[in-house]
Amino acid sequence: MSRVIVVTSGKGGVGKTTTSASISAGLALKGFKVAVIDFDVGLRNLDLIMGCERRVVYDFVNVVQGEASLNQALIRDKRIKNLYILAASQTRDKDALTQEGVEKVIEDLKADGFDFIICDSPAGIEKGAQLALYFADEAIVVTNPEVSSVRDSDRILGILQAKSKRAESGDEGIVEHLVLTRYNPSRVESGEMLSVEDVVDLLNIPLLGVIPESEQVLNASNAGEPVILDTEADAAQAYTDVVDRFLGEEKAHRFLTAEKKGLFKKLFGK
Amino acid sequence: MALLDYLLGQRKKKTANLAKDRLQILLAHERSERHAPEYLPQMRDEILAVISKYVEIDQEQLQISIDEANGFEVLELNLVLPDK
Ligand SMILES: Nc1ncnc2c1ncn2[C@@H]1O[C@H](COP(=O)(O)OP(=O)(O)O)[C@@H](O)[C@H]1O
Ligand SMILES: [Mg+2]
């Protein structure tokens, strides 16, 4: 059975693409066949984060409009077996995707035996974001511990619950998961940042994981490697835990507390 | 400076609490709007039509919502009439 997962947030720049790349890579590393689709028409970026930007020949819109076959457009990842990327179109207008076209692509991927189809949503709550979530079975809501991100996550939850295929057909609703990213435990401890408990309390959905603010994320995107592959990095380990929990494993949450600073450091700076 | 920051930091207000309080109020409000009954927009239009028969009003000025308060469902209507 294939599972369609949308990675969504409402607000832009919170870490959807970073999360899509790492979760897709993590699931493929576990042996699953994974396709990750960039729904951000006009603002293609997933290819860069995955390091396959020079191998994009055909894109999602080409497939939807019948100008290329799905097989021609799927880019096979060079590092990880069973991982495929479908790039967004860079030039077309946002209306180039249709609901029927998206449905056909997802159905074809299911028929091709993909275990997971990860939909990297564009920002916003309008058409692009709604198309990305429409066919989802599960949603990973990416949130930063910050007021506008929490508010936008709540709005996207409203859309998941009202405007998805599952909601409209009266089926069981989309399964919701929270991934809290760019978490800075020391700022939480000093009372300057919403804590993970605060955000869970506010959004009231199950927590899949917390990804710490990490310098390695920038290094990974510079190199075009999903950060999960940088196994030493705390963000990578946190994403690995997310993948394990997503697959049903029980795992304690990590990286929630600040490294203890000695009194000397506290008094005299970093 | 770090020493000063450290000592001052002890007394600084916790902005995270402020954020949580504000969000709690805002999300409750936005959720109640989302869960508003389907007939609300049409009811709003009809109420507007009735009021417009008697006074000239700015359509945007009518706020209408259904909230829950103390176990009761409350229909709240807010309209500022223009000065004559
Ligand atoms: N855990 C993290 N730590 C530090 N920076 C991060 C983290 N997650 C994402 N970022 C950075 O945030 C920015 C936006 O991330 P991106 O995944 O492109 O967001 P979105 O797809 O939601 O717009 C990027 O510059 C990325 O490197
Ligand atoms: Mg993105």
Q: What is the pLDDT of residue B9?
A: 55
Compute, in angstroms, the gap from residue A166 CA to the centroid of ligand 1. 29
Top pLDDT among A201 and B55 is at: A201
Looking at the predicted structure, is the pLDDT value of residue A138 above 80? yes
**How would residue A264 be classed by pLDDT, with cut points 50, 70 and 90?**
low
Of A146, A151, A194, which has the smallest distance from its Cβ to B27's Cβ? Answer: A151
Of A158, A188, A267, which has the smallest distance from its Cβ to B2's Cβ? Answer: A267
pLDDT in tens, A199-226: 999 999 999 999 999 999 999 999 999 9
Looking at the predicted structure, is the pLDDT value of residue B12 above 60? no
Query: Which residues are paired to B68 by β-bridges?
Result: B73
Token output for A127: 């058409």
- Measured from the Cβ of residue A160, the count of other Cβ atoms closer than 10 Å reads 25
Asked if A266 lies within 8 A of B23 by C-beta distance, the reply is no
Q: Is A46 in the pocket of ligand 1 (CB under 6 A)?
A: no
Q: What is the mean pLDDT of chain B?
A: 82
Distance CA A230, CA A220 (A): 8
Average pLDDT over residues A12-24: 98
Q: Does B23 touch chain A (CB under 8 A)?
A: yes
Looking at beta carbons, which residues of chain A come within 8 Å of B24? 202
The pTM score is: 0.87
Distance CA A248, CA A136 (A): 19
Looking at the predicted structure, is the pLDDT value of residue B10 above 70? no
Q: What is the pLDDT of residue B63?
A: 80
**How would residue A143 be classed by pLDDT, with cut points 50, 70 and 90?**
very high
Average pLDDT over residues A248-270: 78
Q: What is the pLDDT of residue A270?
A: 47
Asked if A269 lies within 8 A of B22 by C-beta distance, the reply is no
Q: Is A102 in the pocket of ligand 1 (CB under 6 A)?
A: no
Average pLDDT over residues A148-165: 97
- What phi and psi, each to the nearest 5 degrees, are found at residue B82? -65, 150
Residue A104: closest CA among A140, A141, A144, A131: A131
Asked if residues A223 and A236 have their Cβ atoms less than 8 Å apart, the reply is: no
